[in-house]
A and B are shown apart, each in its own frame.
Chain A
Amino acid sequence: MKVRIDVTQASPIITPELVREHGLSEAEYGRIKQLLNREPSLVELGIFSVMWSEHCSYKSTRIHLKKLPTKATHVLQGPGENAGVIDIGDGDAAIFKMESHNHPSFIEPYQGAATGVGGIMRDVFTMGARPIAMMNALRFGEPTHPKTRHLVKGVVAGIGGYGNCMGVPTVGGEVNFHRSYNGNILVNAMCVGLARADNIFLSAAKGAGNPVVYIGSKTGRDGIHGATMASAEFDDASDEKRPTVQVGDPFTEKLLLEACLELMATDAIIAIQDMGAAGLTSSSAEMGDKGGSGIELDLDKVPQREENMTAYEMMLSESQERMLAVLKPGREAEAQAIFRKWELDFAVIGITTDTKRLVVKHKGQVVADMPITALSDEAPVYDRPYAERPPASGNPAFDAGKPLLESLVTIIASPDMCSRRWVWEQYDHSVMADTVQGPGGDAAVVRVHGSNKGLAITTDVSPRYCFADPYEGAKQAVAEAWRNISAVGAKPLAVTDNLNFGNPEKPDTMYQIVAGVNGIGEACRALDFPVISGNCSLYNETNGEGILPTPAIGAVGLMADVHRMAAIGFRREGDTLILIGRNHGHLGQSIYLREIEGREDGAAPPVHLTEEKRHGDFVRNLIEQGTADTVHDLSDGGLLVAVAEMAMAGGIGAELVAAPDATASIPFFFGEDQGRYLIAAAADTARRIADAAEKAGIPHALIGRTINRKLLSVAGAGEVTLERLSTAHENWFPDYMGGLEPPPVN
């Protein structure tokens, strides 16, 4: 953005070009003049440009997001705050949200991912929670793309670099590779925090005459216009247009966390809000808006890292590790003492007013003076046209002669299905000494410190399903998250989403968004699974090429006693394997088709939400009663992949019966029907489980047992050793990353 250079305090002439550079349409600019009754100053133009950006205003998605279910008795705070809050009993609350840092991570993978982690943590601790777990959902381009390796390496190191230093365990996530992400990777990070339900902090700056204080790091010229960048498409010239990338400082953030929690133990705070995208601008406007008050800022008081910063730069800077708070009058000194102890900047930079206006002063001049509603309520809202597309359909043909177990080896060694150990070993997943289940299972489980309760956490979405059928695919993402939480024995409580899509101005993409939101809404209603927070990342396109629709779902569940948690690894030889759920042999859009037949076609698997719920409730009940301790849900790769994962995790082999119909062996073992679980239990327990399923009318089948040899065998199809499976499964990632591509130096 060239504008930075010629900023003068005197009102420049605002040219159409300048308006365009600020990502505003002609009509939007007309609206701004109308709302102000005059031409905006340059600072005001900058403020409008970020507040009206897609990233901050949700102008393309707002009307659709309204349709999501957000309420339940256990929801203490739904969307609209920095993060959502749920009641988890005993006066405890879980606070969580997921957020993207896609564009910055593509430009500078280490710092982009690191600051993404820092940003989402601030969203959670600004509400009074101590972060207790992190997740990350990552999508990269195809492995052979020249940039992929470098991006993987940088992103993973950045997530670890920030999260590890913060001392918050990173307990899980997802990694996918697909060519549609070649030019637009996705880095979605989720943070879960723990607070007392009666000590939650919100961002409404209620009341006039209260001091507005700035805390954390100094303001520099970082990432000016990051929010508008996150709302624009890339093209090949983006390299040159790069705004300064923000560098993360996890050390300062750790101090900020401790200092904020210390201040929150007093009753000095009226409102508090992190400075995320669009920094000072959005934090002050949002706090004023929610509090129904006005805010007056004196920029001369803002702690500055660089000399001669203009008002425009300060208002738009995205320097990290900063917070804005409104205190009760007279409590400044007490707050300052806390921040001084933690060696952080602290400054009173403004005051709340009763004017409902945002007034910004700099060097004795008023550089912006605008009604706050112009930035929030009056921000544009679009009902963008969309073009409905029939979903992909059909159950594709396949070569029934392919050897089953060889295909299994190929699949579990493929980029999307191989072990992610290379990734998660770079994350500290056991710090805080409450990680009961780390990465590698269906859901991570983190104990609520000092209790027997546990929070189960997962993130899920299968973008290939969403591309084939945006509605069913989005339902599937919710259902899979719900299933993963049920599979460890927790009760699914609430959802956060991260809606990653291409350009909403294209009717095709807009349809993906609309259908996706509808699908999420439908599934969340059926599963009693409210959406309590989320984030939208649109314009994930390069040279007109959009990503697969990727509505990532993060979810949290609660278990009463972590000692009863189920896990995927086989525990005993001689256990019976019981499949819960119906096997239709659905191969459309399956991993099998893609990896073995090289095709991405057919219908996405349909999700039957009532079955999903019945099966999940049934399995969770067994776990809660202590009847089942070894459970895995069936998803990518179907039954045979699930069995292989359970065998590798437990180091115990298994033998499986043949498919009921010998000619349909491949769909039986690799089909991706939804709503299914696999349970391993001692023979007599298994009989009881089967009886119970029978009584409840739940489809079930005994499909094999665990054995005292370290191999996996299928009747009539031979066997494969666990060693061969594990080697294939574990080696892809380190082999790929160990390749000759140069590592970045930092």
Chain B
Amino acid sequence: MKSAVIVFPASNCDRDAATALKQLTGQTPHMVWHRDSELPQVDLVVLPGGFSYGDYLRCGAMASQSAIMRAIKAHADRGGAVLGICNGFQVLTEAHLLPGALMRNANLQFVCRPVALEVNETQSAFTRKYEHGQRVVFPVAHGDGNYFADDETLNRLEGEGRVALRYAPGQNPNGSARDIAGILNQKRNVLGLMPHPERVVDPLLGGTDGIKLFQGLLETLS
């Protein structure tokens, strides 16, 4: 499986994503600068966490206008896999590759902690290795992870089985609508999520629950 990690100004989980990809796929990902207009030949594009453009104006807003985003849209349209983690999720919503928006956490504070999630949909390359309803623990680290969409959109997301991950009952760290932690696009080849699977791929660092996400991708895309 070939992958690319996009580097925006002030991305800061780009190295973490690359390390996890290398460890779990055996291949070093391409690091792609946001101003490039073309993607290398890859199966997976990762938009990493961080504070692209300092999170100024709105998280992900300026990054969503980067030159590389057009190529990423084309890649997604062709059915290529796109994974947006944290800031990457914000960029995907701002770029309208995923519906809704991520607003300021309900308590207005940044939050970094391990959070229990439930895998709500296993019908995707990202989640196929998990069991339906399985509980996993990923850390969150964000100030703007409060997922918002209108009721119609939320109903559709749920109806179409596109809510991939939910915060376990009582664990919602940010006030997200319907405890949504991660969603899929209609074609199920684009996943955006606030928690960080790339930070739980090593038992030394607080868990290995993120490994299956990358394994699922590896099996599907290789």
Contacts and interface: CB of A to CB of B under 8 A. Distances in A.
The answer to whether A and B touch in the complex, with CB atoms under 8 Å apart, is yes
B198 A433 contact: yes
B119 interface: no
A431 B14 CA distance: 10
A87 to B, nearest CB: 24
Interface stretch (B48-56, B88-96, B123-131, B148-156): B48-56
B199 A433 contact: yes
B108 interface: yes
A571 to B, nearest CB: 14
B204 A251 contact: no
Interface in B10-25: 10, 12-13, 15-16, 19-20
Interface residues of A, number: 32
Interface residues of B, number: 31
Nearest to B48: A167
A425 B202 CA distance: 21
B79 interface: no
A435 interface: yes
A202 to B, nearest CB: 27
Interface string A412-440: 00000000000011111111111110000
B54 A165 contact: yes
A562 B205 CA distance: 11
A14 to B, nearest CB: 42
B112 interface: yes
A430 B109 contact: no
Contact of B205 (A249, A252, A426, A430): A430
Contact of B109 (A426, A432, A434, A436): A426
A250 B10 CA distance: 9
Contacts of A563: 204
A354 interface: no
A166 B54 CA distance: 9
B54 A431 contact: no
B206 A251 contact: no
Contacts of B9: 251, 254-255, 342-343
Given A165-B54, A249-B54, A562-B204, A430 B108 contact: no
A444 to B, nearest CB: 13
B204 A167 contact: no
A250 B204 contact: no
Contacts of A252: 54
A433 B55 CA distance: 21
B120 to A, nearest CB: 24
A337 B178 CA distance: 48
Interface in A242-261: 249-252, 254-255
A447 interface: yes
B13 A250 contact: no
A425 B19 contact: no
Nearest to B49: A431
A157 interface: yes
A743 interface: yes
B139 A254 contact: no
Contact of B204 (A254, A424, A425, A436): A436
B10 to A, nearest CB: 4
A164 interface: yes
Nearest to B202: A433
A546 interface: no
A430 B112 contact: yes
Interface in B31-71: 49-51, 53-56
B112 A425 contact: yes
B205 A435 contact: yes
B56 A251 contact: yes
A432 B110 contact: no
Contacts of A434: 205
B142 to A, nearest CB: 9
Interface in A346-390: none
Given A250-B51, A254-B51, A433-B20, A167 B56 contact: no
Contacts of A425: 109, 111-113
A424 B139 CA distance: 14
Nearest to A432: B16
Contacts of B109: 157, 425-426
Contact of B110 (A251, A428, A435): A428
Contacts of B113: 425
A167 B12 contact: yes
A242 B33 CA distance: 42
Nearest to A426: B110
A276 interface: no
A427 to B, nearest CB: 6
B81 interface: no
B25 to A, nearest CB: 16
6 A-B pairs closest in CB distance? A167-B12, A251-B54, A165-B51, A433-B16, A428-B141, A254-B10
Interface of A: 157, 160-161, 164-167, 249-252, 254-255, 342-343, 424-436, 447, 562-563, 743
8 contacts: A165-B12, A165-B55, A251-B54, A426-B111, A430-B141, A430-B199, A433-B16, A433-B19
Given A165-B54, A432-B16, 19 more contacts: A157-B109, A164-B51, A165-B10, A166-B12, A250-B51, A251-B53, A251-B55, A252-B54, A254-B9, A254-B10, A425-B113, A426-B110, A428-B141, A429-B112, A430-B139, A430-B206, A433-B198, A433-B205, A436-B205
